[in-house]
Chains A and B, each alone.
Chain A
Amino acid sequence: MSRNSGRVGYDADKEIDAIVVPEGNGDGSGVMTGKGLDVGTANLLSAVHNHSGNPTVKRERNMFLEIPSEFQKNKKMLTQLNVPYVSYRERLFVLGDAAFNLANMFGKDVRRPMSDGFLHPQEKEAIPMLRFIVERLLGQPAAKDEPVFFCVPAASIDVQNDIIYHQGVIEGLLKKLGYTPHAINEGHAVVYSELAEEDFTGIGISCGGGMFNVCVSYKSIPAVTFSVCRGGDWIDQHVAKVMGVPPTRVTDMKEAPGLDLNQPRSREEEAIVLYYRNLIEYVLKNLAHRFAMAQDVPRFSDPVQIVVAGGSSMVGGFVDVFAEEMSKVELPLQVAGVRLAEEPLTSVVRGCLIAASME
């Protein structure tokens, strides 16, 4: 889900087709109601239907930065610069992409409402900041009690975590905004958006900032779901440590165009590639271990397709390395192939929107 890194070759300006999106669908326009929300560790995305048939997607980084209180006097200037801020308890916070850019500019670390796929346990301002960003993305409901499908991670096989509180808070937050919330597993959302040609049978993997989520699906029904608690953030933290730079700088390097896991061009890129390969190997070993231990893995008569999505899968050469490492592990099912989602960054949120449209 969370695409901490991802966005290799992503040029936000070029991809913008529209700035203003009609929020109100209750005007008899014929546009379907229901929204999708990808609650990621690094990015938050929303998706709504529009007249063109292709969903309209909004994205904001799931992070914030506290700036010195002297800037309280410059709120008007921040608004003119299109910098979203929240003034809270006599402190000033900048949200989303603006926070990332400012942190990168001044060599500081951003603060994150979420960590490893879940609400950050030590971050006191997590919920208020998350609420503001989600409100900014979703806007007001188009109709009373409009359904919103939001993604949640599966239980991790390598770390003890608890989904109940996280899911409860997100549900409460959406209810507070006037929506009817429904949770959907993150890997299952990838299956919805990417495996239609295979009758929603196969394995969907969401490679996010906080974790990798896996869903084995048969005819759209999730048979096995689990997660591994490492993602793009893990790479950022380790590369930042060994290179002596802030993690945001590493994120920026990862998102720079041209980075290829098979052809690093600098010392920094070599470090990124090293940790990327280590992460993929770790994820696949855990995946094989989970499959080996499980009694609930369905038996497929035909080889199944694996599709990877999420921001962390967007780096050049990811699928090649993934397939290479996969050939080294034994899986209790035959794999037809591994492919990258056509739009990895929006795959989960589009899956959420599909689920919302089925309501």
Chain B
Amino acid sequence: MKDEDRQRVASVIAANSQPVTLNDLAQRGDRKFRVISMNDTLELIEAVVDDVINKGTADVSQEKRQQFIDEANTQFQQVAKIQAKSQETISQQQEVITAQQAQIERLEEEKHDLKNKYEAQRGEAAEFEQANYQHTQSLDRAREELAQARQREQEAAANVEQISRRLANARETILNYDREIDRLVAQIKDDATLIEKLRVQLHEREHEIGRVKGLMEALHQEVTAARAKSAIEPESIHELRGELVEMKAFLKSLEKQNGHEAPAIEALLQRIAQKEADTKSDAEDRFNSKLSDTLDKIGHAINAATAKPVDSHVDAASVYISKLFDEEGVMESNLSNLDIQATTAKQSISSSLERLKTLRSKASKAVEGDGDTEKK
């Protein structure tokens, strides 16, 4: 066999066989192996082929034999070419398969990553939804509280404004009364000045009357003395009488004048005093009354704005509670369909109850005994 034929046979064997490791063979269950080299294999094949050809072609001429060999070589070369082409195709397909397997593995990894991301995002979405729900609830409550606070603030502002207006009115009223009091006080002062002036005049007139009375008394004594002596000249007596008459006339005029003015002064004084008292009393009464009313109004306004619960017990059921359940019709519940778990207390209350009754009974008897003693 030629060398090139041996190479073709070797490539055919290589193309139609697979390299297998000993471990793989062991895994298949093979334990013992016979090893033959490629050269030995080719020599064996060559010997067998030569032997067969020699036997089958013993009676064939050398020329014929060479023709068979040439035809066989030609066929073998064709088969070898086909085999080589197939091997190439197989190699290409294996490369494609390897590439596709790598692609599949990459896609599997991407799929796994995407799945993890999806799970994580789904968890985050659930948490976000939960948090969003809680925030919505909180926001609703905050809005309600804010609305209530605003309403309270508006009410308080309205109350403060109302109180401010009332306070301004009260201040104006007080100022008016201050002005009225000032005017009355000034008038009273004027009246008092007038009274004082009249008193001074009256005092001066009384002093003048006293002085004139003294003069008349002195003249009368002189006349009496002159009569007693009888030594006085008639002209002198006449002159003295004339002076006395003048003095009397003056005194009478003074008395007359004084008598006319005194009741008037007295009446004026009384009228002024009365007026002073009435005016003062009336003004004070009116002022006090108005001031009291104003203070009451301010007090009511302040109390209304800063009202606290009255410290007395009221029956809430009749006043308020019934209104709380006006919406009972729109409420729906399953409570009547459900049982509630009940437990029996381990501790009895009967002994406590008995002791308490005994104690109360003793206390009642003691009270009755005290009552009897008091009666006795």
User: Which residue numbers of A lie inside 8 Å of B, CB to CB?
Assistant: 12, 15-21, 47, 50, 52-60, 66, 68, 75, 78-79, 82, 84-89, 95, 106-108, 122, 124, 127-128, 131-132, 135-137, 162, 164-165, 168-169, 171-173, 175-176, 192-193, 196, 199-200, 219-220, 342-343, 346, 350, 353-354, 357-358
Q: Is the CB of B353 within 8 A of A53?
A: no
Q: Are A353 and B349 touching (Cβ within 8 A)?
A: yes
Report the minimum CB–CB distance from A134 to chain B (whole Å).
11
Residue of B316, B343, B356 touching A171 (CB-CB under 8 A): B316
Q: A57-B345, A220-B356, A343-B347 are known contacts; what are 8 more A-B pairs with Cβ within 8 Å?
A: A15-B343, A17-B343, A57-B342, A164-B311, A173-B321, A176-B317, A200-B359, A357-B349
Distance in angstroms from A130 CB to nearest chain B CB is 10
* A12, B341: Cβ atoms closer than 8 Å: yes
B314 within 8 A of A: yes
Q: Is the CB of A54 within 8 A of B339?
A: no
Indicate if the CB atoms of B339 and A172 lie closer than 8 Å: no
A-B contact count (CB 8 A): 166
- With the chains together, A88 CA to B331 CA distance in Å? 5
Q: Is the CB of B325 within 8 A of A128?
A: yes
Residues of chain A within 8 A of B309, CB atoms compared: 162, 164-165
Please state if A196 and B331 are interface contacts (CB–CB under 8 Å): no
A232 to chain B, nearest CB (A): 21
Contact A358 B341 (CB under 8 A): no
Q: Does B282 interact with chain A (Cβ within 8 Å)? A: no
| CB atoms of B344 and A54 under 8 A apart | yes
- Mark out the residues of chain B between 189 and 215 whose CB falls within 8 Å of any chain A CB in the assembled complex: none
Interface residues of B: mostly helix, strand, loop or mixed?
A: helix
- Taking CB atoms and an 8 Å cut-off, the chain B residues in 305-338 that contact chain A are 309, 311, 313-318, 320-322, 324-325, 327, 330-335, 337-338
Q: Is the interface of A mostly helix, strand, loop or mixed?
A: mixed
Q: Does B270 contact A (CB under 8 A)?
A: no
Which A residues are CB-close (under 8 A) to B359?
A: 199-200, 219-220
Residues of B with C-beta under 8 A to A12: 341, 343
Q: A50-B344, A56-B343, A346-B345 are in contact. Are A132 and B335 (CB under 8 A)?
A: yes
B335 in contact with A136 (CB, 8 Å): yes
* CB nearest neighbor in A for B332: A87
User: B147: CB under 8 A from chain A?
Assistant: no
Q: State in angstroms the CA–CA spacing of A89 and B332 once bound together.
A: 9
Q: How far, in whole Å, are A85 and B336 apart by their CA atoms in the complex?
A: 11
- Which residue in chain A gives the minimum CB-CB distance to B334? A79
Known contacts A54-B348, A106-B130, A165-B309; A354 and B356 CB within 8 A of each other: yes
- Asked if A122 contacts B335 (CB within 8 A), the reply is no
Which of A19, A57, A193 lies in contact with B352, CB distance below 8 A?
A193
- Complex CA gap A342/B322 in Å reads 39
Report Cα–Cα, A45/B133, bound state, in Å.
33
Interface residue B230 (Cβ < 8 Å from any Cβ of A): no
The answer to whether A176 and B321 touch (CB under 8 A), given A17-B343, A57-B342, is: yes
Could you tell me if A128 and B335 are in contact, using CB atoms closer than 8 angstroms?
no
5 A-B residue contacts at CB 8 Å? A55-B349, A79-B338, A136-B335, A173-B321, A196-B351
**Looking across the interface, which residue of chain B has its beta carbon closest to that of A349?**
B345
Question: Taking the complex as formed, is B346 at the interface, i.e. its CB lies under 8 A from any CB of chain A?
Answer: yes
Complexed CA–CA distance, A50 and B363 (Å): 29
Q: Does B34 lie at the interface of the complex (its beta carbon under 8 Å from any beta carbon of A)? A: no
What CA separation (Å) do A165 and B332 show in the bound complex?
27
Q: Are the C-beta atoms of A343 and B346 separated by less than 8 Å?
A: yes
Smallest Cβ distance from A90 to chain B, in angstroms?
A: 9
Q: Any chain A CB within 8 A of the CB of B117?
A: no
B324 cross-chain contacts in A, Cβ below 8 A: 127-128
Residue B2, interface by CB 8 Å = no
Q: Are B348 and A87 in contact (CB under 8 A)?
A: no
> Which residues of A have CB within 8 Å of B320?
168-169, 172
A17 to B347, CA, bound (A): 14
The verdict on B375 contacting chain A, using a C-beta distance below 8 Å, is: no
For A350, what are the chain B residues with a Cβ–Cβ distance below 8 Å?
Answer: 345, 347, 349
**Residues of B348-362 whose CB lies within 8 A of A:** 348-353, 355-357, 359-360
Residues of the B chain whose Cβ atoms lie less than 8 Å from the Cβ of A53:
348, 350
Asked if residues B313 and A88 are in contact (CB atoms below 8 Å), the reply is no
Whether the pair B346, A354 counts as a contact (CB closer than 8 A) is: no
A54 and B347 contacting across the interface, CB-CB below 8 Å: yes
